[in-house]
Structure 1
Amino acid sequence: MSKIFLLAFAVMIFGSAGPSHGMDFPIASPLERFEKRLDEVEGYLDIAAKKKGVENQMRYLDRSGIRDVLTELQNLFWLYSKRYGRFRKFRDVMKDLEDHISHLGDYKKYLRYAEQVDADTEQRYKEKLDHEISLYRNYLKNSDWLKPGHPLIRRIREELRKTDWPSLEADRNYLLKRVAKKLKKMHREEYDFNLVEEGWHELRRDVRRFEYLNDAMDGLVTPSPDIACPLGGPVNGRKKDRARKQDAYNCHVAPCLVKKLSQADDELLELKKAGAWHEASGKDIPPGMYERVKKIHTELIESKVYLHLASQLKDCRTAEAR
């Protein structure tokens, strides 16, 4: 009998440990968040392993949906790494494969930009792409990702299944607190806006961080029209409403905050594409593009989007957690 079934049965019969405020939890244990994603990864790996040759395996993984699942697992392991330090190594494992897939896609895109410039630029980026392919090929050959029986995934599952998971309510409060702290840190983060990859890309990665983390938490945080937009007002302006919605599993936040991050993400993506094209072409990036990236960041900080969002996550935590 599987451990997940036993956990689900125990919750059904006895309920989760500790008070639940009448919440209808969508999972029987935090373990489920990991198990279902590891199942997806195994599915992709099974198909890849049947392809003949490493190049075909790489090509399949590049076109499959495994990168999104690896990203969610990275963020899941990060979320819980504060409580379970050994999870950091699992996050790194997921990041290694996701990085190779990501870098391969990036250099293919850069090569397409370079092809529009001249033969020398095209050759230079072709060599960079070939180098990235070589790194990726060696990584797959020397790792356990595609070995029969999924020994890497099996080891991770074993570690996860022997973990002493918290009650569902404690888990919910922990996740909300963890993300809120990350948002506050993002408010203080500084970036080098003179660099596309190390500056612009890192800013966009952080802007998307909330979306990534929320995906990993299966949409725990949900925009709701019932929550007024706090922009322009003081942070912590909802203290009097903290008791509201505590019986609901989902944490409701102001839609304007999520929209603000989404708009910044969209604009940063276009700017990053344009910046990458200029770099691949050997052309100077127009000063106005640097200024626009900096302005996006400044607007997020001055409007206190991260801080407002962190405050609303705090409001969602049940009274015992505060």
Structure 2
Amino acid sequence: MTASLHTAPLHTAAPPAVELVGVSKRFGAVQALHDLTLGIRAGELTALLGPNGAGKTTAISLMLGLARPTAGVVRVLGGNPAAGSGRTVIGSMPQESAIPQALTVREAVTLFSRLYPAPLSVDTALELADLHSVASRRAGALSGGQARRLAFALAVVGNPQVLFLDEPTTGMDAGSRLAFWHAVDGLKREGRTILLTTHYLEEAERTADRVVVMNRGTLLADGTPESLRSQVSAGRVRFTSDLVLAELQALPGVDSAEVDGAGRATLRTREPEALIAALVHTGVRFRELEVSRASLEDAFLSLTAPDALKA
């Protein structure tokens, strides 16, 4: 009787869904990207943030196969995004969409669906974008928010594995934003990889699994919203009192202090509890106390501040 040997399979990390390796991009004398290496993990919603001119648009154009890098390699699902087969698995919701204005919403979504080998049904795309009520309306007669929802429907109707959302909720009202993020959450649960760019940092903080911050064509930070927030003062304390700026700055744990013309103080601190205890101990009367944690916007502003970039 012979014994059989069973070798345990080797477990290796799954390759990134989107990958830039040593990527640089130059436009004449302008260096838009500098040796950028970035991997977007499959099945995650990643927010790509940065001020204007950070290189986000250039990076996304390379990921979409709309441009080629000056140096380095770009891969989407292991292949060249500029290849025809690569484009069939990518969906893109750009800031501006050249949608034929004479087509109805349903006609536009139907037209786009025919460009893909295995699209979603037109009705499914309309439902995801909450467009059934205006399906017979011409694209040229849509409101700004409705036009953005149509752009979303066109991005998802191809049944993409990787979805790019560029400032997706601009022009949407509160109800449309809520419905939009509900749809995006459903797509993420299905395992799709989503890359988001937005100036609404509270949306990125609420929805992203991971945040990547760029500036001047390079990577500044990469982590969860919580890890980025932890890099800046952990809280903001606001109140109104008669304390002057120098007295506020002398309180324990204060990283920065501001006072407006009405005597309303804003203090940033890593120890809000100790700060409030010290404030009470002074015996000075204060009112309208507010305590809040650091936000992703605080982290973003700290990372991209001119002094931080020189460090």
Please report the TM-score for the alignment, with normalisation by the length of structure 2.
Answer: 0.25
- Name the one with the larger strand percent: 2
- Name the one with the larger helix percent: 1
Rg: which structure is higher? Answer: 2
Please report the TM-score for the alignment, with normalisation by the length of structure 1.
Answer: 0.24
